[in-house]
């Protein structure tokens, strides 16, 4: 643990360098190159170009010499957000309109710090540690192979990063929690965040002869209105579920009936059955509206999945955090968040836990939430995150309280 504490200056340097040079979605060539180079320099087996569809992830594998044991996966995300940074720090983003506003620069630095620490102490590891650095947590792109909209987690999972893994863990910074604390949800942590795009196709015409046209704007307006009924009447009111629109585009001139329209939005829920019900409801509603108007429709969906923690894994990460942060600084969080995270795809296949590590500091003015242009973090969180990852790696599920 003292080794990890001695890395603070290097961790800050890495985090600030990544913060200055943010990269979006799968366009993370610089970040992934830095990650792979550092892992290799520490004697860790590295696989570059991971991802069946986009090939931009990095996986490091460290075999412990302390005896046989399970395979533990630790994940960090590398991508930034299309946000214009408003901070005046010397390490502010050099790229206009792109910013690490969700702390992925810190996540990457923490996992690198853990990798370096564990590589220097591999005699304390029983089993194997797999360090996964993934792109595109913040969104998805259409696969060049099969056209599906895929986030980075799904891309890497389809390339086998979960093969042989017994447990998996990830940390996410949270400015609402003060630095030096950790919170974890006992079961559901975050919702399945699904994105949708609906397009209506009609026929253009003059406003003086609406009977000769098919109004795509009217179809879009009816869809927005009737979705409220779908959510109110087709979804169990005892469940947490929300749908909201983000954009609507239609038409080209003030006196011309719109030939096409496009709506985009998201819906969030916790149960797979609820996600499926909303998905099917959107398809049926769009089809009904288009048929009634004499037009056509197309719908695209990026399905999300809830982040659901495993009970034993929650106990394990809390035990590790208590050794680092003390008992009173580790707690359960409630209620779960309706925000989404693609670590849910990992947890759907392998037991594990997703925990939030505090990075806020009111005295220093570090109070802005993630995804905001003035987001920042107390860099003490970097060492705390390294130490928690290390504690996870040198324990086993049957030795949680060591």
The H or E element spanning position 297 is strand 296-302
The percentage of residues in the chain with a pLDDT greater than 70, rounded to a whole number, is 98
- The residue from 79, 85, 342, 376 that is catalytic is 79
Query: What are 95-106's pLDDT values in tens digits?
Result: 999 999 999 999
Please say if the pLDDT value at position 42 is more than 60: yes
Please say if the pLDDT value at position 178 is more than 80: yes
Query: Which pLDDT value is given to residue 180?
Result: 96
50-76: average pLDDT = 95
Whether 158 is a known active-site residue: answer no
- Give the annotated binding-site residues for Mn(2+): 102, 104, 138, 172, 371
Query: Which pLDDT value is given to residue 1?
Result: 56
Find out whether 343 and 169 touch, Cβ atoms under 8 Å.
no
- Burial of 96 (C-beta count, 10 Å sphere; 0-12/13-18/19+): exposed
Closest CA to 217 of 244, 267, 254: 254
248-277: average pLDDT = 94
Please say if the pLDDT value at position 398 is more than 60: no
Please say if the pLDDT value at position 170 is more than 50: yes
340-367: average pLDDT = 96
49-53: average pLDDT = 97
- Alpha-carbon distance 137 to 121, whole Å? 30
Q: What angle do CA 225, 338, 334 make, to 5 degrees?
A: 140
Query: Which pLDDT value is given to residue 396?
Result: 65
Please say if the pLDDT value at position 331 is more than 90: yes
Of the options 3.40.50.300, 3.30.70.360, 3.40.50.720, 1.10.8.60, the CATH number for the domain spanning 193-302 = 3.30.70.360
Give the Cβ contact number of residue 13 at 10 Å.
12
Confidence of residue 401 (pLDDT cuts 50, 70, 90): very low
151-177: average pLDDT = 97
- Beta strands per DSSP E along 89-156: 128-134, 141-142, 149-150
Confidence of residue 4 (pLDDT cuts 50, 70, 90): confident
**Which of 64-68, 198-202, 207-211 is predicted most confidently?**
198-202
167-172: average pLDDT = 98
Confidence of residue 67 (pLDDT cuts 50, 70, 90): confident
Whether 79 is a known active-site residue: answer yes
Confidence of residue 235 (pLDDT cuts 50, 70, 90): confident
The β-bridge relationship of strands 241-250 and 260-269 is antiparallel
Query: Which pLDDT value is given to residue 307?
Result: 97
Delimiting residues of CATH 3.40.630.10 domain(s) in the chain: 1-189+307-394
Query: Which pLDDT value is given to residue 197?
Result: 96
Query: Which pLDDT value is given to residue 400?
Result: 42
Pick from 286-300, 336-350, 384-398: least confident: 384-398
175-180: average pLDDT = 96
Per DSSP, the residues of 246-269 read EEEEE-SSTTEE-SEEEEEEEEEE
Closest CA to 95 of 31, 141, 144: 31
353-379: average pLDDT = 96
- The residue from 77, 105, 137, 188 that is catalytic is 137
**Tokens 């961790």 map to which residue?**
11
Find out whether 185 and 311 touch, Cβ atoms under 8 Å.
no
Delimiting residues of CATH 3.30.70.360 domain(s) in the chain: 193-302
Find out whether 200 and 289 touch, Cβ atoms under 8 Å.
yes
135-161: average pLDDT = 95
Could you give the strand order of the β-sheet that contains 45-50, starting from the edge strand earlier in sequence?
A: 45-50, 57-63, 128-134, 71-77, 167-178, 352-360, 182-184, 330-332
**Tokens 């996540």 map to which residue?**
107
- Alpha-carbon distance 71 to 335, whole Å? 31
Q: What is the pLDDT of the chain when averaged over all its residues?
A: 94
Of the options 3.40.630.10, 3.40.50.300, 3.30.465.10, 2.60.40.2470, the CATH number for the domain spanning 1-189+307-394 = 3.40.630.10
- Alpha-carbon distance 304 to 8, whole Å? 36
Query: Which pLDDT value is given to residue 397?
Result: 60
């Amino acid at each position: 643990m003292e080794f990890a504490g001695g890395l603070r200056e290097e961790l800050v340097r890495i985090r600030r360098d990544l913060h200055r040079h943010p990269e979006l979605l799968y366009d993370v060539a610089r970040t992934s190159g830095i990650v792979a180079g550092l892992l290799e320099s520490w004697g860790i087996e590295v696989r570059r170009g991971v991802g069946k569809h986009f090939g931009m992830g990095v996986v490091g594998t460290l075999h412990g010499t302390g005896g046989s044991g399970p395979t533990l996966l630790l994940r960090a995300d590398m991508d930034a957000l299309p946000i214009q940074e408003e901070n005046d720090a010397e390490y502010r983003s050099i790229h206009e309109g792109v910013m690490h506003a969700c702390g992925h620069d810190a996540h990457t630095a923490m996992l690198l710090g853990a990798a370096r620490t564990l590589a220097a102490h591999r005699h304390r590891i029983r089993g194997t540690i797999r360090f996964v650095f993934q792109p595109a947590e913040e969104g998805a792109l259409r696969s060049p192979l099969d056209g599906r909209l895929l986030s980075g987690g799904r891309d890497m999972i389809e390339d086998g990063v979960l093969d042989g893994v017994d447990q998996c863990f990830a940390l996410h910074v949270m400015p609402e929690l003060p630095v030096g604390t950790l919170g974890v949800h006992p079961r559901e942590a975050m919702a399945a965040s699904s994105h949708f795009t609906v397009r209506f196709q009609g026929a253009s015409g003059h406003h003086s002869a609406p009977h000769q046209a098919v109004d795509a704007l009217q179809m879009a307006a009816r869809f927005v209105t009737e979705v409220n009924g779908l959510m109110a009447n087709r979804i169990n009111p005892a469940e947490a579920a929300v749908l909201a629109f983000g954009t609507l585009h239609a038409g080209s001139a003030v006196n011309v009936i719109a030939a096409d329209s496009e709506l985009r939005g998201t819906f969030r829920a916790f149960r797979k059955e609820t996600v499926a019900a909303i998905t099917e409801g959107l398809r049926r509603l769009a089809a009904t509206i288009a048929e009634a108007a004499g037009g056509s429709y197309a719908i695209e969906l990026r399905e999300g999945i809830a982040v659901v923690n495993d009970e034993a894994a929650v106990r394990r990460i809390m035990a590790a955090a208590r050794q680092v942060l003390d008992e009173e600084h580790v707690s359960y969080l409630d209620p779960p968040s309706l925000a989404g995270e693609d670590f849910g795809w990992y947890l759907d296949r392998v037991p594990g836990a997703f925990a939030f590590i505090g990075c806020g500091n009111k005295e220093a003015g570090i109070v802005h939430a993630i995804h905001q242009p003035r987001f920042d973090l107390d860099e003490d969180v970097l060492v705390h995150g390294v130490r928690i990852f290390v504690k996870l790696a040198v324990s086993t599920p049957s030795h949680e309280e060591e």
